Structure 1
Amino acid sequence: MDNPPLSPALNDRAERQIPGYRSLARLAVALLSGFPTAAIAAAPVLVVGCGTGNELIEARAQRKDWQLTAVDPSLAMLEAARQRLGDDAHQVDWVQGPVEDLPGKQRFAAATAVLVLQELADDGSKLQFLVSLARLLQPGAPLLLIDLMGGGSGLNVAMEQQFLAAQNQFQLASGLELELSPSCEGVFPIGEARRSALLNAAGFSDPIRVFQALQYEGVVAMRRQ
């Protein structure tokens, strides 16, 4: 018997875990569409960590002209995304593996990386990931990052604890059991200052916040000229 598709369960869990998750893909595509590099017809756009395909589906809905490349280390995720896209799947260039392995320079007009940077340890892996994206993006091209943020995010200790309590309550109200601490789950959140330092070291502009829901934040940074 075939394995059941991954996407419904994974998307349902993410929506219960992350405030505003359902709108993130729509926001990502709408936001990147306005940047000059991605506004042109048939702009090549990179979706890193495509997962079950939320950003790809939304891109096909808003910008059918975009030339999409979807990258994910998981074959199961790529297959789930292909299933969800249906007839549109053949319009996407599918790549299994890390984005660091993609060849070329200045190939893409924009990129998204939703809940990807948080999964990389800050032992050089985060910087290597961002350096690879800078290599692949055209000068002036936007990169959208959305991740769980950790200490040093501009909040005092009391407010950080308040946000964590709210996050736990949101999960409980959504029908999820409380998660273990992020560091115990293979998630490595960092603060605003560290994120800015990594982006600048990789060749990006200072990030601009475009989304926040408790400790989940989305920023856009542009590839420097």
Structure 2
Amino acid sequence: MSNRESRWDEVYRSRSVDTVSWYQARPTMSLALIGHAGVPKGAPLIDVGGGASSLVDHLLREGHADLAVLDLSDGALATSRERLGDAAGQVDWIAGDVLAFAPTKRYALWHDRAVFHFLVDAGERRRYLDALRRASQAGTQVVVATFAEDGPERCSGLPVARYRAAELHAVFGADYELLESTRETHRTPGGAEQHFTWIRMRRLR
């Protein structure tokens, strides 16, 4: 187990899911932008860093039938599997590091609200983009959220990168067409406000 895996497993062992700062009972912005993408309900979608997030619950209820959740922490994935009960069998649960992700299919939509802003090293960002390329094709839509330029400088004790929408899109490059961008103010379970930048893109080639 890598240091990163053990760190996030410990987070989920030591704290209940509804007390972590990123918790959302309903991931409203994620659902909105996925809805805007208009991908067919039978098309493959992946939630990167989705661990214990309730996004997969809502997508199942909306009729999405080919869902995957990728997370470093198998403990976080286990929390979601337990919460979903029998419905967990409808989801592909992938325990592993997105930076080394070797997908077995190409996804119609890639969603990430949890990982990209932790990649403060340019080499890690390149590995992420390589993984995205392996997991996508022309036409794949990409929904990514990071802390905004006025968001927190650290999360769970780790430094994060903060972005405006244009800056975030620029990291992905000309192969990705920017379709929309927005901001979100997330209120943590503890009552603090955190500002996020969201973008939705389409891979062109």
TM-score range, shorter chain: 0.7 to 0.9
Pairwise CA distance, 1:57: 0.9
Gap change, CA 1:184 and 1:28, over 3 Å in 2: closer
Whether 2:92 is the aligned partner of 1:85: answer no
Pairwise CA distance, 1:8: 7.7
Q: Distance in 2 between matches of 1:52 and 1:195?
A: 25
Q: Deviations over 1:76-110 (max 9, x none)?
A: 11111111111111101111101243335861110
> What does residue 116 of structure 2 align with?
117
> What does residue 171 of structure 2 align with?
198
Contact persistence 2:45–2:67 (CA under 8 A): yes
| RMSD, aligned CA | 3.0
Pairwise CA distance, 1:216: 1.4
Pairwise CA distance, 1:114: 1.0
Whether 2:34 is the aligned partner of 1:35: answer no
Moved more, 136-145 or 42-51: 136-145
Q: TM-score, normalised by structure 2?
A: 0.76
Q: Distance in 2 between matches of 1:59 and 1:184?
A: 27
| Number of residue equivalences | 186
Gap change, CA 1:122 and 1:207, over 3 Å in 2: farther
State how 1:79-158 maps to structure 2 within 5 Å. 79-104=78-103, 107-150=106-149
Secondary structure class of the residue paired with 1:11: helix
Contact persistence 1:26–1:55 (CA under 8 A): no
Q: TM-score, normalised by structure 1?
A: 0.70
Contact persistence 1:210–1:220 (CA under 8 A): no
Q: Deviations over 1:182-205 (max 9, x none)?
A: 18921322332442221116x322
> What does residue 175 of structure 1 align with?
none
Contact persistence 1:41–1:66 (CA under 8 A): yes
Which residue type is aligned with residue 29 of structure 1? Answer: L
Contact persistence 2:50–2:114 (CA under 8 A): no
Q: Distance in 2 between matches of 1:106 and 1:140?
A: 14
> What does residue 223 of structure 1 align with?
203
Gap change, CA 1:134 and 1:205, over 3 Å in 2: farther
Q: Which aligned runs of 4 or more in structure 1 are off by greater than 4 angstroms?
A: 5-8
Per residue, is there more strand in 1 or in 2?
2
Q: Distance in 1 between matches of 2:155 and 2:36?
A: 35
Which residue type is aligned with residue 78 of structure 1? Answer: L
Which structure's CA Rg is the greater one? 1
